[in-house]
Structure 1
């Protein structure tokens, strides 16, 4: 780290150790700002001067250490989930850390769902999934940070459940956490007040406490990086293709067994065995789908990866983990989804069962669930 030009080593706003080298890491301060008194990190500067929170990230283990005290305090926990990557954006371990504190589950990016979606069914589905995950919620709120949908209800829920206590906002990266924090700052915060430090034993100061008008705080926690999400592995250019920016138009394929669908060079879906049936793919419409026979799939991939099968490019593909097989057996009797973290999901439209093989970069999460839509 570049030697700080000030005797001050901690941010005067949040207390985190200051550094001048990595803008995307905690404690960053531009070198030209070191002559100010007091010195505050860029994250605190943006909150204080522009009413906005920046995206700083932590890995999962460090995040849970940071939250280890929450169950011993009185607080409201706001957990932001990405509906387009529900399983991938859940915070494993969160239920045991929140204690008896109420949890409001904000389900973001509902604007990406097809326009005919029944939102009441989505709420019921989310409640059931959260319960199976072990997370007790006092309310599920559907919202869209980008389209400013549902935020009035978010604010109402926070007023209803916080009971004069602090609000902790938690979420993985790319779920819209900063947008919600920014809205809370506008609605609740007295920005003329100084940002204050937070001293908790055994942790570094990786949180920002934003004072509210009633003397309590909005506590902004860093976003969590989950390597099991495809969106964490690709470069920014490809990320724009993976993450939809408008309502998804589902793609339906009628497949015979031993047929394969590629989505770029990132994901391969094999229908290995079963009666002819339809599969609906809920993925970004910026991604091109390619169908082939299973016996030709390996050859097609080797010949056309990074070109016909893109994103990513050949060079960028070399930087990603190799594709790994995930055998999936869809049982008879119910309609299921296969979710691929960071890509979307595939709905198996019939209840007659199927044997599938999902190929994704090593480490990317693949899960089977009851159908969302």
Structure 2
């Protein structure tokens, strides 16, 4: 029998989780799901005018692409917004290729262009709300502190996306409290937090009702591939409208603001996603990006390691248990240490001796998948030393995280490719 307050805390968390699930189900049952299909590949016609993607509805200005938000033009096929026929088409050629052929057409929006968009929005004296979308799978990598500073001038709601990727055993209240603590040092600390997903209908309906409850302008912001456009498309579909915004595994699919109406008086804007400069995908070819941006539940792989062993992430990076062999005081023998890798199910892991790591990579780098774009890429190693016992997560942006229990004299390292901005590797308290 336990005599601890932890039992009461667990019981309260369980009750809160049951209430949250009940609320989500009520939201899901509030409206019947109706499948809505876009009849034409190049044009969009909603059943009710003024509802849905209203980028060009009652607009006196130039026509814009409903997929990326750029102004349509027929003069230069190398510039954003190029269209073969502006009058008959609602998608620019780039969005058409991405949506229907999964073909990458590189066109980027830089940070300064985005800052101008936010500055223009912030100039208004009217009340507005930002939805700041972060990726629960890459929480440290999907944060932008300078963006948080900009949007803190207005009302902010933090949308923790892709919650469906987490193992079902992890309590929602634990994730909520973890995210709340994660943003303690941020200027948007104290903002409302919503756990969401574009896949699970209960979460989608809850988000739709939240968006429809606000009668002033709302803006969806965040880093590229955090799932902003996918969330809006899921909400459009749940609201019996056409999911018209172009989404893909590529960065910068959305290039300008896209206006969405869930009701006649309700305005929501999708905004461009910012490039993840510190993400591992930057060092690979776009053909491998399915390994980093995905829609399946996280896989846990556990290795029991001795010091001097390494784990490779395909042909991209590797983790090394440098030294600090654990010791079993009961039998007086050395023991292996458990390391739990939370990764994309498609990503292959391989164990080798640390002394052979460099040789293994050089020998197999052309055969490993996924692999780096630059065959002569240089690497940098980040070292982590521990002096006490605690549960730790080490996040590698794009590759997931490693969970373990540290102890005195443990030494670990992460080796990643050198890039212009560096691959983000972050140490946090353990979530799971």
Map 1:63-212 to 2 at 5 A: 63-73=114-124, 74-160=127-213, 162=214, 164-185=215-236, 206-211=256-261
Q: Is the 8 A contact 1:189 1:211 kept in 2?
A: no
Following superposition, the deviation at residue 331 of structure 1 comes to: 5.0
1:283 matched to 2:343: yes
* Aligned equivalents of 2:113, 2:376: Cα separation in 1: 24
Partner of 1:259: 309
Following superposition, the deviation at residue 180 of structure 1 comes to: 1.7
Match of 2:260, SS?
A: strand
Comparing 125-134 with 237-246, greater Cα deviation is found at: 237-246
Decide whether aligned partners of structure 1 residues 95 and 256 sit closer, same or farther in structure 2, where only a CA change above 3 A counts.
same
Deviations 1:32-91 (CA, angstroms, capped at 9, x unpaired): x14x28x86639999xxxxxxxx9852333222221234443211111111111111113
1:325 maps to which of 370, 373, 381: 381
Comparing 361-370 with 338-347, greater Cα deviation is found at: 361-370
Following superposition, the deviation at residue 167 of structure 1 comes to: 0.7
* Aligned equivalents of 1:15, 1:359: Cα separation in 2: 40
Determine which structure has more spread, i.e. the larger CA radius of gyration: 2
Partner of 2:47: none
TM-score normalized with structure 1 length: 0.78
Following superposition, the deviation at residue 217 of structure 1 comes to: 2.1
Following superposition, the deviation at residue 207 of structure 1 comes to: 1.6
Partner of 2:81: 27
Partner of 1:250: 300
Deviations 1:6-54 (CA, angstroms, capped at 9, x unpaired): xx995457673736525xx74232x2x14x28x86639999xxxxxxxx
Partner of 1:198: none
Following superposition, the deviation at residue 335 of structure 1 comes to: 1.4
Partner of 1:300: 360
Partner of 2:424: 365
* Aligned equivalents of 1:246, 1:319: Cα separation in 2: 30
Q: Is the 8 A contact 2:312 2:349 kept in 1?
A: yes
1:227 matched to 2:277: yes
Q: Is the 8 A contact 1:325 1:359 kept in 2?
A: yes
Q: Is the 8 A contact 1:263 1:290 kept in 2?
A: yes
* Aligned equivalents of 1:42, 1:15: Cα separation in 2: 8
Match of 2:209, SS?
A: helix
* Aligned equivalents of 2:227, 2:154: Cα separation in 1: 22
Deviations 1:285-328 (CA, angstroms, capped at 9, x unpaired): 22221111211111111111132x3222xxx5436843322223
Match of 1:69, SS?
A: helix
Q: How many residues align?
A: 333
Following superposition, the deviation at residue 206 of structure 1 comes to: 2.6
Deviations 1:108-167 (CA, angstroms, capped at 9, x unpaired): 11222122111210111011112223323532222221333512222333345x3x2101
* Aligned equivalents of 2:347, 2:169: Cα separation in 1: 22
Partner of 1:52: none
Deviations 1:153-192 (CA, angstroms, capped at 9, x unpaired): 22333345x3x2101011222222112222444577999x
Show structure 1 runs of 5+ residues with no match.
1-7, 47-54, 192-204
Show structure 2 runs of 5+ residues with no match.
1-59, 97-104, 243-254, 327-336
* Aligned equivalents of 2:396, 2:224: Cα separation in 1: 16
1:240 matched to 2:295: no
1:345 matched to 2:410: no
Comparing 341-350 with 60-69, greater Cα deviation is found at: 60-69
Q: Is the 8 A contact 2:392 2:428 kept in 1?
A: yes
* Aligned equivalents of 1:133, 1:330: Cα separation in 2: 26
Partner of 2:109: 58
